[in-house]
Chains A and B, each alone.
Chain A
């Protein structure tokens, strides 16, 4: 068949597909399409695939082939598109059930990340509890002085952790930005064969352990431990989970198993992403607790009981969430 006859015969179908795609490419709420019109897509697309293959094998002009190719690409995109609707209930369900279940399925990474964080933390905590100079080996003098001032029970100015409600909200913003970014970086570093994650976990362990040991040795128990005990439950757990997600990435590249490295990476990255999203939600909750609850001045007994309750909540969520009844 000659090119002109071919075009004449099928031009109408191509035009119809063209208009259909124009509508489908709009945002959902601006589409003016009946369902019967939408249902024509498979048929039109299948015909177009035939026409494109024919045009190529019959060596019609490259311009016509290019035109059909672009139409095929556009329809293919709509035809095989994954429809994801942003239903907020899905996110809630994910957080309550899917996230803890995914974490338990890959618990080995969690325990490894926990060890990478906890062992340096405990080690430096004990060391700096017994040696006041120890903290200066990992932190600048100025930072140490700042932290000491923050938790000094005698300190009562802006630098103190006890402050007004307005700066509470400011600190909420700060914790969101700072802590979730740390979580994301801890995860992302995993793609460098896991080395980035390793660094962030160990480094954060050293700093947090060192500060805790140092302040305890100074006798600032009531200001420091009452402040961190509550939100630590969500915050530290989430950082360790981000670490687990990063190790998952690193492991995929180091030991891809039966897949090609790129394929293994893609598959495990999807799982790791679930852990990171869950951890980001945990960190948001942690930021809220840290900003509005941890800064309240209450008797230590109350602070510690609430902290115990929060730890129980986190552990219960991660161990029980998503179990089938």
Chain B
């Protein structure tokens, strides 16, 4: 299958058109770790890059797993004399340099990153391949210098994607994996037409309130609804019901 071949014949999509109408998202000056990548379809992907602390934790978990592998190899092979020692040394070499490579290429992440919900991808959002993975892990030797990833940490703090030297050379990113969607439908309420003059952004806020309200406690919902007392003309529980009514009307229209 070659999906790229078919895509080249695709007409300019509606997505590309509508993208023009969405206001540009503020990129500069926003203190955020989201990296935006525009796909050939004119879609902006948001990749959430990972800072030093979760990556250090993942590294520690991986180190513990490696240590167990070394111990297992040693107990297994060392009873076989010279041959066993030779095998142990080869295994040590392979695990030291290629443990992350194999996991990244076949699973997209090492077990440590898996536990923290991280994964390694190319700059353009595609899964990491052999050459990028080999590069970023060979250069780990320098990132580790002079002590405990000092160079790696300095480099990560000096660019906005938290890339260490290996990531820069290989063109890779460490990002958070998307979580399984946990969308809830808004609680049933009589649809009420919202007051005129609401902008689209205001309408979106009402929709969001509707969908989130099942996860909010009653007092918090009321607190939020009280902020919109001037829009809904009601406060407390009545205010919440009104806002939910607006949300349902916006989502489904009159029924």
Contact = CB atoms under 8 A, between A and B. Distances in A.
7 contacts: A53-B15, A56-B18, A60-B207, A167-B82, A173-B86, A184-B138, A188-B138
A67 B115 CA distance: 22
B82 A38 contact: no
Nearest to A180: B93
Nearest to A262: B168
A276 to B, nearest CB: 7
B127 A73 contact: no
A278 to B, nearest CB: 13
Chain B interface secondary structure, helix, strand, loop or mixed?
helix
Interface string A44-71: 0110011011101111111110110110
Contact of A192 (B142, B168, B203, B251): B142
B56 interface: no
A142 B42 CA distance: 66
Contact of B251 (A38, A61, A72, A73): A61
A61 B211 contact: yes
Contacts, number: 197
A49 B19 CA distance: 11
Contacts of A159: none
Interface string B179-205: 001010000000000000000110110
Interface residues of B, number: 72
A284 to B, nearest CB: 10
B253 interface: yes
Interface of B: 1, 3-4, 6-7, 10, 13-16, 18-19, 21-22, 39, 41-43, 45-47, 81-83, 85-90, 92-93, 96-97, 106, 121, 124-127, 129-131, 134-135, 138-142, 151, 165, 168-171, 178, 181, 183, 200-201, 203-204, 207-208, 210-212, 250-253
Given A59-B201, A61-B251, A79 B7 contact: yes
B89 A176 contact: yes
A76 B45 contact: yes
B43 A80 contact: no
Nearest to A43: B6
A46 B252 contact: no
A41 B85 CA distance: 50
Contacts of A60: 204, 207
Contacts of A180: 93, 97
A266 B166 CA distance: 10
A159 to B, nearest CB: 15
B170 A169 contact: no
Interface of A: 2-5, 27, 35, 38-39, 41-42, 45-46, 49-50, 52-54, 56-64, 66-67, 69-70, 72-74, 76-77, 79-82, 84, 164, 166-174, 176-177, 180-181, 184-185, 187-189, 191-192, 196, 249, 262, 265-266, 269-270, 273, 276-277
Contact of A38 (B1, B13, B96, B121): B1
The 5 A-B residue pairs whose C-beta atoms are closest, nearest first, are A173-B89, A166-B82, A173-B86, A53-B15, A61-B207
A177 B183 contact: no
Given A63-B183, A67-B183, A166-B83, A191 B169 contact: yes
Contact of B15 (A49, A81, A164): A49
Contact of B42 (A49, A73, A172): A49
B251 A2 contact: yes
Contacts of A168: 82
Given A50-B13, A173-B87, A196-B142, A181 B19 contact: no
**Which of B19, B151, B181, B203 has the most C-beta atoms of chain A within 10 angstroms of its own C-beta?**
B181
Nearest to A7: B251
Given A52-B15, A62-B208, 19 more contacts: A41-B1, A46-B13, A57-B22, A59-B200, A59-B203, A60-B204, A66-B181, A76-B39, A82-B126, A164-B82, A169-B82, A170-B82, A170-B86, A177-B92, A177-B96, A184-B138, A266-B168, A266-B171, A273-B138
Given A66-B181, A269-B135, A53 B82 contact: no
B86 A4 contact: no
Contact of B126 (A3, A80, A173, A181): A80
Contact of B181 (A38, A46, A70, A185): A70
Contacts of B87: 169, 173
Contacts of B151: 192
B252 A49 contact: no
A80 B18 contact: no
Contacts of A196: 142
A302 to B, nearest CB: 25
